[in-house]
């Protein structure tokens, strides 16, 4: 007999709530949708499960019999399905600096979903997402490459990283346009600042290139040029020979949680959804992917 499990769960909700209105609210369904579901189940089974009047909804004898059988069966099924998640992991890739609070989100998600969330650092532009080394990744690239879906997790202002022995390090603020006159240290793998971000007729020269954030800091400290990074970098990474200075009129840095459009880990979209729901409710701007709230990184 071709009985949909969804119909059985809907039946149990109506039986437990004692009516269609309360059951529809519990299931987050429109009441006509729930009514059609119960009718489809009755038609498939060939029996009436509820006596309906304008005042009440009550189980028939067959309905009570089905309810008694379903409760232990569905409990056993839920236990078996939950058990399948034991030992399952969700690998979250990043190439530097996770946003504040994401580790807490991961811990809560792991407890609720019954999976282990693992953070994997990979110093590649796609943080391991393109090679299958991770299931979902934090990407600071805008827009997202084709073939990926994601949520805009946060956005951040920028700071300038200036060699501490340069006179410029005494400034309290710098303008984005001022950096065009200085050599730029460029992180070619996981960086967020490149000469092409300035007007074509006034772009900074490349003073040095590197492949990760640690190298970037050291090259700035050595005086090979200035750099620019999200303001979160100044809060989480310091160097005694580098001065972090706020930048005016600089483009924001957007960070996405991204996963493949097809063939993604079944928990990837759920984790991304949980992460953006944890965004700061006082964020001043609600931009973007799927109308999700945005917070500082």
Residue 57: strand, helix, or coil: strand
pTM reported for the whole predicted model? 0.69
| Average pLDDT of the residues in 14-22 | 92
The pLDDT value recorded for residue 55 is: 78
Q: Does residue 14 carry a pLDDT above 50?
A: yes
Q: Does residue 20 carry a pLDDT above 90?
A: yes
Cα 197–286–92 angle (5° rounding)?
A: 70
Q: Does residue 293 carry a pLDDT above 80?
A: no
**What sections of the chain are H helices per DSSP?**
5-17, 20-27, 31-45, 61-83, 102-113, 213-221, 231-236, 268-277
Residues 129/258, Cβ–Cβ less than 8 Å: yes
Sign of CA dihedral 32, 34, 40, 46: negative
CA 245 – CA 162 distance, rounded (Å): 7
Structure tokens at 257: 């949680």
| Average pLDDT of the residues in 190-201 | 95
Eight-state DSSP code of residue 121: E
CA 223 – CA 207 distance, rounded (Å): 9
The pLDDT value recorded for residue 163 is: 98
Q: Which residues pair with 89 in a beta bridge?
A: 116
Q: Does residue 60 carry a pLDDT above 90?
A: yes
| Average pLDDT of the residues in 154-170 | 95
Nearest CA to 213 out of 135, 97, 133 is that of 97
Banded pLDDT at 84 (limits 50, 70, 90): low
CA 262 – CA 37 distance, rounded (Å): 30
Inter-CA distances, 17 with 10, 56, 71, 131, 172, Å: 11, 12, 14, 48, 63
pLDDT tens, 206-220? 999 999 999 999 999
The pLDDT value recorded for residue 56 is: 84
Inter-CA distances, 106 with 101, 204, 278, Å: 9, 39, 11
Task: For tokens 């949980």, name the residue.
Answer: 274
The residues, any chain, with a CB within 8 Å of residue 197's CB and separated by 6 or more, are: 251
pLDDT tens, 95-123? 988 887 899 999 999 888 888 999 999 98
The residues, any chain, with a CB within 8 Å of residue 243's CB and separated by 6 or more, are: 161, 162, 163, 164, 169
pLDDT tens, 148-159? 999 999 899 999
Q: Does residue 296 carry a pLDDT above 70?
A: no
Residues 96/212, Cβ–Cβ less than 8 Å: yes
- What is the C-alpha end-to-end distance of the chain, expressed in Å? 53
The pLDDT value recorded for residue 87 is: 64
| Average pLDDT of the residues in 248-270 | 94
Share of the chain above pLDDT 70, in %: 91
Please give the domain boundaries of the chain with CATH numbers for all domains. 5-83 (1.10.10.10), 89-151+255-291 (3.40.190.10), 158-248 (3.40.190.10)
Banded pLDDT at 235 (limits 50, 70, 90): confident
**What sections of 180-236 are H helices per DSSP?**
213-221, 231-236
């Amino acid at each position: 007999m071709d009985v949909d499990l969804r119909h059985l769960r809907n039946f149990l909700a109506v039986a437990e709530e004692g009516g269609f209105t309360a059951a529809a609210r519990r299931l987050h369904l429109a009441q006509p949708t729930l009514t059609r579901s119960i009718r489809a189940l009755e038609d498939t089974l060939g029996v009436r499960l509820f006596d309906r009047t304008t005042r009440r909804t009550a189980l028939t004898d067959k309905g009570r019999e089905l309810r008694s059988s379903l409760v232990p069966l569905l409990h056993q099924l839920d236990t078996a399905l939950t058990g399948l998640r034991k030992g399952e992991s969700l690998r979250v890739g990043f190439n530097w600096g996770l946003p504040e609070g994401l580790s807490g989100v991961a811990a809560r998600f792991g407890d609720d979903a019954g999976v282990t969330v693992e953070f994997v650092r990979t110093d590649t532009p796609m943080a391991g997402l393109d090679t299958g080394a991770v299931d979902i990744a934090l990407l600071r690239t805008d827009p997202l490459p084709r073939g990926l879906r994601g949520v805009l997790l946060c956005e951040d202002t920028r700071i300038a990283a200036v060699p501490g022995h340069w006179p410029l390090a005494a400034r309290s603020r710098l303008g984005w346009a001022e950096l065009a006159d200085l050599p730029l240290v460029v992180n070619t793998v996981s960086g967020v600042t490149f000469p092409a971000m300035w007007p074509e007729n006034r772009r900074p020269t490349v003073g040095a290139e590197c492949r990760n954030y640690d190298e970037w800091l050291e090259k700035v400290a050595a005086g090979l040029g200035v750099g620019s990074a999200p303001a979160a970098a100044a809060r989480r990474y310091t160097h005694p020979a580098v001065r972090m200075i706020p930048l005016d009129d600089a483009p924001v840095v957007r960070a996405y949680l991204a996963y493949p459009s097809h063939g993604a880990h079944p928990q990837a979209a759920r984790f991304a959804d949980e992460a953006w729901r944890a965004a700061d409710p006082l964020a001043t701007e609600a931009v973007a992917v799927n109308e999700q709230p945005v917070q500082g990184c």
